[in-house]
Amino acid sequence: MTKLRILTSWVEISEKAYAHNLNFFKSRLSPDTEFSVVVKSNAYGHGFLEIASLAIKYGADSFCVHSLDEAICLRKSGYNQEILIMGPVLLDRLPEVLENRFRLVLYNLEAIDKLKKLTDKNGRTVKLHLKLETGTYRQGIEEKSLPVFLKKLNQNPRLQLDGVYTHFANIEDTTNHEYAFRQLDLFTRMAKIVKNEGFADVKLHAACSAAVLLFPETHFDMVRLGISQYGLWPSRETFVSYKIKHSANGIDVLQPVLSWKARIGQIKPVPPSQNIGYGGTYQTTRESRLAILPIGYADGYDRGLSNQSYVLINGQRAPMRGRVCMNLIMVDITDIPEVNLEDEVILLGKSGNSRISADQLANLCGTINYEFVTRIGPSIPRIITE
């Protein structure tokens, strides 16, 4: 931990909590189901390579990423597992997909034509995963267009159809899963068309975190575990649905992996009736002491937390005073004894019997836990702890 003494702000990643979460999810899967973890967007803010190392250590079979560059970073870092690129790859960069043996999402006929030319020229094969449109209306192939894609794939044996998948639009934010099951029915029907057209061994996958938690029938041949590997519930509704299914077992199922910390940069006495920060949005009502922390909205500490949130110091709450600045925030330590320069402060995580959760901070600034943790600045060091 000596490295922490030279950092003004850092993120700690609990190996113990991450291992707990992966072991829990593995226990819910059939041994034949591929366990893929989604590490896009800096592993939802938790640290791309740090999480990748833990994922493989604790039983993940493969990775899902958004971009070609994320996939290349994993390969260059020594990860030889299967990597599915789920976001768009420009046609001119498709040679890099072949060179690095990535799985590639497919939903454009132009990509098939380009890949045919490339594979005919270099004799390589490429693994493709058809994204099926079942009701989310982002990327995907509608049922009426599916025969054209399958015909082209059948004509090009070097274009290997490795997987067929979809994504649920409304499985997290509701306790009524009727729409999700309509999607599931359509996916099952489209997958049957694929298999009947000569792709009997294709791998089916549809399950995100909420689906893995709630509906074993969505697991198929592979799951894509996202937010919940990090110990965060996809939504309050998912938690409620899980608790209904499993009685009292819902509380400690997932363990948050991430803590965000900083050190006090200055301690400042402030007289009564003084305005704090830009716009003077807070005025002191008594002799006060402020701690100035080297964190702001440039680091992902949302400006919507101005005058709303608090941090933990010595297990006690220190409320935000004034607006969140680009690189600084001010907190009130008047009622907390024995606070010193460069003491550790908890922005997100646990101190003593108190905890600040990603859900709390997200609620305060009108967003979701996904966004809050993903936006924690990538330049802030991620440190794996026990």
| Separation of alpha carbons 217 and 241, rounded Å | 16
Separation in Å, CA 360 to CA 324, 371, 373: 17, 12, 12
- Looking at residue 320, what DSSP letter applies? B
CA angle 301, 307, 313 (to 5 degrees): 70
Amino acid at 277: G
Of 138, 189, 135, the closest CA to residue 164 belongs to: 189
Q: Is 271 exposed, middle or buried (0-12, 13-18, 19+ CB in 10 A)?
A: exposed
- Looking at residue 61, what DSSP letter applies? -
Name the active-site residue from 18, 40, 79, 301.
40
Of 358, 335, 331, 334, the closest CA to residue 345 belongs to: 331
Residues contacting residue 195 through CB under 8 Å, at least 6 positions apart: 202
Residue with token string 């899980």: 242
**β 34-38/222-225 pair status:** parallel
Q: Is 278 a catalytic residue?
A: yes
Name the active-site residue from 57, 151, 195, 278.
278
Residue with token string 């997958």: 191
Helix 48-57 to helix 15-27 angle (10° resolution) is 50
8 A C-beta contact, residue 190 and residue 132: yes
The set of catalytic residues is 40, 278
